[in-house]
Amino acid sequence: MNYQNLLVSFEQGIALLTINREKALNALNAQTINELHQFFSQDAYNLEGLIGVIVTGAGEKAFVAGADITEFRGLSASAGKDLAQRGQDVFFLIERFPKPVVAAVNGFALGGGCELAMACHLRVAGEKAKFGQPEVNLGLIPGYGGTQRLVQYIGKTKAMELLMTADIIDANDAHHLGLVNYVVPSGAEIEKARALIEKIASKAPIAIQHVIASVNAYFAENVDGFVFEVDSFGACCSTDDFQEGATAFLEKRKAEFKGK
């Protein structure tokens, strides 16, 4: 795993992925998007014993302050479309990753940064974190799924307002709106993200995969989420973990899941 803009450490089953462009407030340039693609399409799958991924930003100021504005100028319509598609593909890889991905939002999460946090399954915000989609200030709209996921998470009323006003909200407002799962003291984001992943890792891994896929199915086009859930439920029934979970309950002991 050789990256220019990502730092990856792997400890006790958890990959800590840090966007490492602190001088540019961790803005997502093309190289970083490519490296995220490399990690979530290949490298993460090669980490033996992986139970989850934490995504954060280097330094104390920013999670990710957006797409890298220095790369925008002179972008043609077709190049812009290609770039948006590339970014969306990467963020879908994150959203569909079969193990929990938690954003530890340690500062500004603006534009593409807010979109990156939204592509993760869960979000823990430090109390100094700030969220917003200020693309209209630049004559743009979000290109990495922001117009869709923001509506999914906070509803059309507030999403319309944030997308059209470019207002930036703090961590507590983001929490009240349902954009983040937890607000913690600054500096404690990773610890909380780790605790969430460890809790999830004590459950049946195949069931967790099916939860992720089934919840995503609610938002997928041309997919009946209820039908998808029935199929996923059936698939869980054929696992050893289901037998173990039910047996452990009846024997009044803790289940020992094997992910089989």
Q: Which is nearer to ligand DAK, 57 or 142 (CB)?
A: 142
Determine which residue in the list 52, 87, 145, 245 makes contact with ligand DAK, applying CB under 6 A.
87
Q: Determine contact, residues 119/94, Cβ cutoff 8 Å.
A: yes
Instruction: Draw the binding track, 94-133, toward ligand DAK (x: CB under 6 A; -: no contact).
Output: --------------x-xxx---------------------
Q: Residue 189: name the closest of 207, 171, 164, 203 by CA.
A: 171
- Encoded tokens for 260: 């089989």
Question: What SS3 state is found at 214?
Answer: helix
Residues 158-197 close enough to bind ligand DAK by CB under 6 A: none
Q: How far is the CB of 259 from ligand DAK (least distance, A)?
A: 36
Verify binding: residue 84, ligand DAK, rule CB under 6 A. yes
95 carries an active-site annotation: no
Measured CA distances, 79 to 31, 71, 83, 85, 143 (Å) = 16, 11, 6, 10, 12
Q: How many of the other CB atoms lie within 10 Å of CB of 152? A: 14
Q: Give the whole-angstrom CA distance, residue 240 versus residue 237.
A: 8
Site size with ligand DAK, rule: CB under 6 A = 26
- Under the rule (CB under 6 A), what is the footprint of ligand DAK? 24-25, 27, 65-70, 75, 80, 83-84, 87, 108, 110-112, 134-135, 137-138, 140, 142-144
